[in-house]
């Protein structure tokens, strides 16, 4: 027979129950709601980007990938977005210079439209200018070239043919060029009047792919023949535009 009598010395554990005290709801302001929504949206975007569902856009300049380029400036550009969200900048006359791994380093060139009426900035040239050197082993001459009173390039008998850009040294308007030439040694016995060395400056344009297109004839030229053995000091003015 069971009894509900409590055994002396023992004690029943007290009955426990969770607290049922009502908790008053905390009012949420409109600003707090907007802050919470913004935080939630940021978290969702972060998850999407981390999962790769939202790829970053690529940037291309005249068809060359330029994503990650840190500095540079172009004028007279058209910007397009493709179906994937990539950005395409079309600006004839500019070129993206990349390293051996294809990483963009810098922007070079000048806008082909920079000379449009009312659009060219003060001092900006609409054309490119290059100096071309054509040596001849039968015409042993050395040359020192100055542009606007400053040393530009020294040419000796070991200098190979070259073409070098003068645009950065020129300003809009008149530019002074001076060439000092000196004979070096004796002309070979077979050297004649038809054996010549040439220094020429060309004005031209640069295509979107970076190719320089010269306008003929040259805007300045110096020619020395194997029969010319006197030193020369020639100065001239080139009007740049």
Looking at the domain assignment, is residue 3 inside a domain? no
Looking at the domain assignment, is residue 80 inside a domain? yes
Looking at the domain assignment, is residue 123 inside a domain? no
Say if residue 133 is in the same domain as residue 208.
yes
Looking at the domain assignment, is residue 162 inside a domain? yes
Say if residue 94 is in the same domain as residue 162.
no
| pLDDT score recorded for residue 189 | 66
Looking at the domain assignment, is residue 95 inside a domain? yes
Last residue of a domain, one of 109, 139, 174: 109
Looking at the domain assignment, is residue 214 inside a domain? yes
Number of domains the chain contains: 2
Say if residue 93 is in the same domain as residue 174.
no
Say if residue 71 is in the same domain as residue 145.
no
Q: Which three-class secondary structure string do you get for the chain?
A: CCCCCCCCCCCCCCCCCCCCCCCCCCCCCHHHHHHHHHHHHHHHHHHHHHHCCCCCCCEEECCEECCCCCCCCCCCCEEEECCCCCEEEECCCEEEEECCCCCEEEEEECCCCCCCCCCCCCCCCCCEEEEEEECCCCCCEEEEEEECCEEEEEECCCCCCEEEECHHHCCCEEEEEEEEEEECCCCCCCCCCCCEEEEEEEEEEECCCCCEEEEEEEEEEEEEECCCCCCEEEEEEEEEC
Q: pLDDT (tens digit, 9 = 90+) per residue, 21-64?
A: 444 444 445 555 555 545 554 554 444 444 444 457 888 888 88
In which domain, by residue range, is 77 found?
59-109
Q: Which parts of the chain have pLDDT scores under 50?
A: 1-28, 37, 41, 44-54, 115-122
| pLDDT score recorded for residue 26 | 46
């Amino acid at each position: 027979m069971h009894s509900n009598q409590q055994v002396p010395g023992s004690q029943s554990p007290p009955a426990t129950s969770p607290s049922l005290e009502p908790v008053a709801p905390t009012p949420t302001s409109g600003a707090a709601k907007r802050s919470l929504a913004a935080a939630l949206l940021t978290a969702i975007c972060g998850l999407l980007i981390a999962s790769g569902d939202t790829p970053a856009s690529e940037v291309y300049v005249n068809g060359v990938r330029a994503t990650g380029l840190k500095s540079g400036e172009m004028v007279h550009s058209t910007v397009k977005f493709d179906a994937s969200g990539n950005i395409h900048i079309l600006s004839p006359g500019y070129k993206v210079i990349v390293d051996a791994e294809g990483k963009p380093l810098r922007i070079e060139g000048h806008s082909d439209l920079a000379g449009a009426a009312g659009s060219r900035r003060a001092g900006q040239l609409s054309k490119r200018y290059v100096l071309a050197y054509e040596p001849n082993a039968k015409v042993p001459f050395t040359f020192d070239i100055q542009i606007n009173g400053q040393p530009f390039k020294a040419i000796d008998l070991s200098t190979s043919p070259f073409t070098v850009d003068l645009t950065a040294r020129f300003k809009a308007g008149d530019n002074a060029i001076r060439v000092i030439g000196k004979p070096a040694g004796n002309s070979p016995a077979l050297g004649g009047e038809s054996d010549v060395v040439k220094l020429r400056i060309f004005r031209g344009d640069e295509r979107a792919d970076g190719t320089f297109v010269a306008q003929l004839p040259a805007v300045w030229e110096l020619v020395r023949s194997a029969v010319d053995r006197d030193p020369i000091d020639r100065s001239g003015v080139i009007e740049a535009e």
